[in-house]
Amino acid sequence: MKEKPQRITSGEWETLMPKVPEEYQAQCTFLRPLVPGGVRYLFSPYEYSCRGDTLLRRLKFDSGLPSLRLWAFLFSEKDRLFLAKEKGWKIFAAMKDLGQVPIISYAVPESLTFYADELWWAPCFSEEPHLLEAAAELGATEDLCYVRAALGAYKTLDYFPKPDLSFAGVGSCCDDFSAVMQLIEWQGNPIHWWEIPTRFEESPLLKNNTFKKSPYGDSPYQESAVKFLVGQYEGIVKKLEEVTGKKISKKDLRESVKGFNRIRGLVRELRDFVYSKKRPPLPGLEMLLAEFIALHYCSEPWESILVMEDLLSMVRKRVDRGESPFKKEDPVRVFWVTPPTDAAILTLLEDLGGCVTGSEYLISHAFYPLDESKPPLEAVAENYMDDPMIGASEFRARRIVKEAKRFGAEGVMITGIFGASHCPYEERVITQAVQKKLDIPVVAFDVPYSPGKLSEQVVNRVQGFVELLRSRRGVQECVTSAVMKSNELIDTSDPFEYFRNSMAREVDYVRDEKRKGRDITGIYCEFTPRDLMLAAGSITVCLCGASQRTVAPAETVLPANLCPLIKSSFGYILTNRCPFYVISDLIVAETTCDGKKKMFEILAERKDTHVLELTQKVEEDEAFEHWFGEIKKLKKKLESKFKVKITDEKLREAIKQMNYERSLLVKAQQLGKNKPSIVSGKELSLLRYRVSGFPDHLRMLEKFIDKIEERAAGGYTFAPEHAPRVLLTGCPTAQGTEKVIEIIEESGGVVVVQEACSGIKPIEKPVSEKGDPLEAIARKFFNIPCSCMTPNKGRTDLIKRLASDFKANAVIDLVWQSCHTYNIESYFIERFVRNELELPYLKIETDYSNSDREQLRVRIQTLLEIS
Amino acid sequence: MKDIFKEIERVSCEEFKALDEFKSQGGKVAAVFCRKFPVSLLQGLGLWPLRVLSGATGHAESVGERIVRPDVCPYCKSIIGNFLEKNSIHKHVDIIVGLITCDQVRRTLERLSVDLKLPVFPVQLPATDSKESEEYYIQGVINAIQNISSYLDKEIDINAVRKDWEYRVEAAEIMAELMWKCSALPLITHRLNQLYAWARPSGFLKFIRQLVPKLPEFTPNFTVITTGSVLCNEDDTLIRILSERNVCFIPLNCTGLNMVEGLESIKEVPDNEIIAALSRINYRMPSCIRVRPNTKVYDRLAEALEKTKARGIILKTLSFCDLWYTEKERMKRSFDVPVLVYDSTYGEGDIGRASTRIETFLEALS
């Protein structure tokens, strides 16, 4: 991780992730006072982009580790809020004041405060219009600015849990958000309303008003405004005490003021340091993120300070070394006004050879210190008098002029928002002030909501502006840059690349289908008959459960000694991180093991969940009848839930479709039979996608097979003839948890086949297309030889066949920690492999973390040596 | 009926002449935009107070767009446009008492002050309904009156305030009764409401006392409640259609009943408390949609529905008036009667579309 700073894509970050030192990852934890040791959060933007935050595919990120930490800290805000709520902490939403209420509310222990306003970013970050659609259904339509997304978020609770109380500042507030906040209350959210006074401009006409100046911002204000504001803040304190049952002392408030002074000081220092450099040591996007942290610690007072210190330390080092992520020695210096609706504009500006050299994102008051010599509420109130939003447009224009001059801006870019009540007034005032006082160019334009790609108009404006600024330096050149699109991350001509990024495609597909009215069914296990769901017209999605990231949050509710698959799955639910779960209409679960079974009970409290009871003594005569009964019940459930009739004809059609998909998957898996190997186990594991019946997947599956055959015809082999051929059995490995496969293949072996549910086991047999289709479905799934069955002779039979067909030299039995059924069954598997197959056998018990990678490597290499 | 309109026209002309004369004698005119400022206090300072509700034209909007972008509320744009061109009543205005009611009005007042160099005395009208907010408002009005007094170098005449106020209270009572009883054709009521907003109260009271007994009997087909944004003099498409269809309207808006209800006599109030008392009375006038929470607006609509048995509600909003327009869904879901939401600018282009929608709505109700 000592590469020179650069601006990289989310995909490039992903490739760098394995190089992130374990000790650094361990440092990055949040909510330490709530969860012993804290919860790790350092994951790459790529992971978030795959899970639906598609805008990230269009951005470029700073390559420094502290920048990654900053991004991950921002992304994990949602996790913190859901987790803290789950654990009984109070969650407060502040709205509109931008940097005031949190100073008061963080005086309350065991609580977090976030800004619902910042959700206006959400449509940009996720490019997912569902928040805007939800808001529109309630009356907040396109004529309002994007703050309306907050209403959608309150409605869907996709981005934050229901707050215990929301604080809404009105009065000297934009009309858009005042209207949105009222609708939020209408929807049953408790709100404490408080009044924001207007700051008047000092004028000879107002000689009977007493004017003072704010201690640090030097902003003139009428004294009565601060007195009134202190009263309003006392009301907020009283309300907080009422809701939490805790007394808030002056000392608590003073401590909170100190804490905010610390974070504000760091942000201020960072701004002064970065924006004043000719070649800034940090890109504009990271600066934008950092500036917003000053408002409310990004919902975490403890870690946010460390994040900022880390970032500051990195930029200092860069300056000392003369390093910068900007290639050009002298990027044109642009001062930015109003945060852009589409963050990709910042990337575009920098791609074109510009840089951000100062900003006025309507939060500049939050960079001034709070006067610790004053009573705390008075200090907060005085600071609010520095807010550019509560007074005249001229006030804001003066601040912009001052800051743009201080940082040596060559131009000012104002990115407005159509429908916002302040933009149509401020634009001209700011433009005239900058031109008159600084004589530098100004460009002002609205940024439309344009998911997937920056609007051409915006691109042209930015390009033209950069050209103009360069021409003022005497450089005449035409600047252009390729504008990244959300879907460009995935190369659809390359099946490997396609399946590597299949999740992002799936998220888009499922959301689109949902919008068209399709029902979504979430599942967790191969026993769940996808054919039946397909016949009901529903899309079946295997829900997320393969990330170490969500294990820690889950452990705050579930016992730690559960398998990582259960914990990760539940962690995704707890933090609302699985994009498919959020839009699923129904969850179909099953009683494979005790851990899952009980976890599903908790899940059922949150979403409609139907549990299939698995018959576990498959060899007994009554077993199938029972299972068939369960399948019939599921059919009824689907019919009533989705209001459809599942006819035999629909079932037959669905079986046919699913059989085709299974046949393609089997065909692909069987490529592993070749010796020498023409495909790697890692490549085959890419086919563990989540959405069944997705036409693009089927097309690409065919291409995948053709590609492998084609390259084999060209003489390609993945490994030499003598490379040890491993049959992997045991627990399933989903995308993101393939470390054992990776280690085997990095060590010279080849995973020729996976017997597990993530391999050939659930797909090798089709559903019979003859007879009663429902019974045929029941029979196919009844025969999956899972370790939850007793006895489970089918597994050894399958291993025997696969070992022979795929010419395996060794068997590795993967057991996720605390998976009792596979763990115990290893006793039989080991005996069978060693005695009957006479092959080397290695049992690996591990979890999703990478901490034991090297230990595993040694053990696997030893096995491969003797194979 | 024509005679009634002629009569209103005559009185309007007389008031205009009086205004001209007042100005020619060195009198000063103070403009307000919101019903919640106690204008009698301005009368006490020797000013002619008028509430600006005229000049709502597409042309004025376009002129306003020289200073602000098009995505601004038409009322605000037309104010700027009319002051820029010194149209109509605006040319007489010497000072502005600017109640800060919403973000756009606040910023419109800034433009009048900075770009048009008009003396603007701002007063924040709080958007919260609390004792502290009320006191803040009262203090704001006291400061404004002191500032205007200093600016004019003139002391306030409390007796003049009292006199002016009592005329207004009486006129308001008559107007309220007229509206609740649906005693006049909607267009007559609309014109009278406009006149009430700017004419001298003594003359208006005299006129309305004489006029009401002469009003021809109005037997409406049915009743609707109208609510929403400010209805200016020229913005009368809705009123005209209601009149043509013989439909009674209960105007629960700030240019209708909300403008004339809640006023009370101050005969018993001591002189030194007059400013505070009037400010308090005006602050407590029927609540506005901008107040948070705005449940009182819905309660008032529900009561009015019960009282008048109105068949429907027409929510008339101005484009980019976020505070009213965002209530559209909530309003539709809150009442058992049909709700028509119609938003418009002052441009000619909107009239045809609006008329069709209103007519269809009324047909469905009849």
Cα–Cα distance for residue pair B137/B42, rounded to 1 Å: 16
Per-residue confidence band for A752, with pLDDT thresholds at 50, 70 and 90: very high
Is the pLDDT score of A488 beyond 60?
no
Pick left, alpha or beta for residue B93 (phi over 0 → left; psi -120 to 50 → alpha; otherwise beta). beta
Q: Tell me the CA distances in angstroms from B159 to A790, B155, B264, B276, one per residue in order.
A: 99, 12, 16, 15
pLDDT at A125: 62
Name the residue with tokens 């002056």: A250
Q: Please check whether residue B227 is in contact with residue B299, taking contact to mean a CB–CB distance below 8 angstroms.
A: no
Cis-peptide, bond into residue A388, ω within 30° of zero? no
Q: Which residue has the higher pLDDT, A493 or A160?
A: A160
Question: Phi first, then psi: what are they for A339, rounded to 5°?
Answer: -60, 135
* Average pLDDT estimate for A675-698: 93
Percent of residues, chain A, with pLDDT higher than 70: 97
Contact: A425, B102; criterion CB under 8 Å: no
Contact: A427, B69; criterion CB under 8 Å: yes
Sheet holding A539-542, edge to edge: A539-542, A520-523, A586-590, A609-612
Pairing state of beta strands A586-590 and A609-612? parallel
Runs of H (alpha helix) within A209-332:
223-244, 250-275, 284-296, 301-321
Beta bridge partners of residue A191, listed in sequence order = A166
Extract the tokens encoding B325: 């327009």
Output the DSSP codes for A805-825.
Answer: HTT-SEEEEEEETT-HHHHHH
pLDDT in tens, A623-654: 999 999 999 999 999 999 999 999 999 999 99
Highest mean pLDDT among A127-141, A302-316, A848-862: A302-316
Output the DSSP codes for B323-356.
Answer: HHHTTHHHHHHH-SS-EEEEEE-SSTHHHHHHHH
Is the pLDDT score of A437 beyond 60?
yes
pLDDT at A736: 74
Q: Which residue has the higher pLDDT, A375 or A421?
A: A375
Q: How far is B292 from chain A (nearest CA, A)?
A: 7
Q: What 3-state class would DSSP assign to A542?
A: strand
Is the pLDDT score of A483 beyond 80?
no
Q: How far is B235 from chain A (nearest CA, A)?
A: 21
Sign of torsion over alpha carbons B158, B162, B168, B172? positive
pLDDT at A475: 73
Q: Angle at the Cα of A122 (from A116 to A127), degrees rounded to 5?
A: 165
Is the pLDDT score of A489 beyond 60?
no
Cα–Cα distance for residue pair A792/A811, rounded to 1 Å: 18
* Average pLDDT estimate for A456-460: 89
Runs of H (alpha helix) within A516-593:
530-535, 551-555, 564-574, 579-583
Distance of CA A804 to the CA centre of its chain: 43
Per-residue confidence band for A280, with pLDDT thresholds at 50, 70 and 90: very high
On whether any CB of chain A is under 8 Å from the CB of B352, the answer is no
Cα–Cα distance for residue pair A232/A221, rounded to 1 Å: 17
Contacts of B126 in chain A (CB under 8 A): 171, 195
Query: Which residues of chain B fall below pLDDT 70?
Result: none
Instruction: List the single range of A33-42, A120-129, A381-390, A611-620 with lowest mean pLDDT.
Output: A120-129
Q: What H or E segment, with its residue span, contains residue B314?
A: strand B312-318
Q: Please check whether residue B322 is in contact with residue A148, taking contact to mean a CB–CB distance below 8 angstroms.
A: no
Contacts of A418 in chain B (CB under 8 A): 71
| From B114, B319, B329, residue closest to A139, measured CB to CB | B329
C-beta neighbour count of A81 within 10 angstroms: 24
On whether any CB of chain A is under 8 Å from the CB of B143, the answer is yes
Contact: B110, A206; criterion CB under 8 Å: no
* Average pLDDT estimate for A424-430: 96
* Average pLDDT estimate for A547-576: 89
SS (H, E, C) A577-602: CCHHHHHCCEEEEECCCHHHHHHHHH
Q: Mutation test of the interface with chain A: which of B45, B61, B75, B106, choosing the one with the most A Cβ atoms within 10 A?
A: B106
pLDDT at A734: 83
Is the pLDDT score of A500 beyond 90?
no
Contacts of B329 in chain A (CB under 8 A): 137-139
Output the DSSP codes for B204-217.
Answer: HHHHHHHHHHHSPP
pLDDT at A14: 85
Q: What is the largest CA-CA distance in chain B?
A: 59
Averaged pLDDT score across all residues of chain A: 93
Cα–Cα distance for residue pair A509/A53, rounded to 1 Å: 14
Per-residue confidence band for A126, with pLDDT thresholds at 50, 70 and 90: low
Contacts of B108 in chain A (CB under 8 A): 425
Contacts of B292 in chain A (CB under 8 A): 168, 170, 178, 181-182, 185, 191, 193
Q: Please check whether residue B40 is in contact with residue B172, taking contact to mean a CB–CB distance below 8 angstroms.
A: no
Q: What ipTM was estimated for this complex?
A: 0.97
Instruction: List the single range of A546-560, A683-697, A812-826, B208-222 with lowest mean pLDDT.
Output: A546-560
* Average pLDDT estimate for A746-753: 95
Predicted model pTM: 0.89
Per-residue confidence band for A111, with pLDDT thresholds at 50, 70 and 90: very high
Cα–Cα distance for residue pair A564/A571, rounded to 1 Å: 10
Is the pLDDT score of A867 beyond 80?
no
Q: Please check whether residue A188 is in contact with residue B300, taking contact to mean a CB–CB distance below 8 angstroms.
A: no
Per-residue confidence band for A121, with pLDDT thresholds at 50, 70 and 90: low
Pairing state of beta strands A220-222 and A191-196? unpaired
- Which residues have CB under 8 Å from A204's CB, separation 6+? none
Q: What 3-state class would DSSP assign to A442?
A: strand
| From A181, A209, A231, residue closest to B143, measured CB to CB | A209
Residue of A nearest to B136 (CA): A228
Sign of torsion over alpha carbons A81, A84, A88, A91? negative
Contacts of A419 in chain B (CB under 8 A): 71, 320, 322
Cα–Cα distance for residue pair A584/A520, rounded to 1 Å: 5
Q: How far is B328 from chain A (nearest CA, A)?
A: 6
SS (H, E, C) A187-210: CCCCEEEEEECCCCCCCHHHCCCC
pLDDT in tens, A179-200: 999 999 999 999 999 999 999 9
| From B103, B121, B122, residue closest to A173, measured CB to CB | B103
| From B68, B113, B143, residue closest to A208, measured CB to CB | B143
Q: Please check whether residue A225 is in contact with residue A172, taking contact to mean a CB–CB distance below 8 angstroms.
A: no
SS (H, E, C) A9-53: CHHHHHHHHHHCCHHHHHHCEECCCCCCCCEECCCCHHHHHHCCC
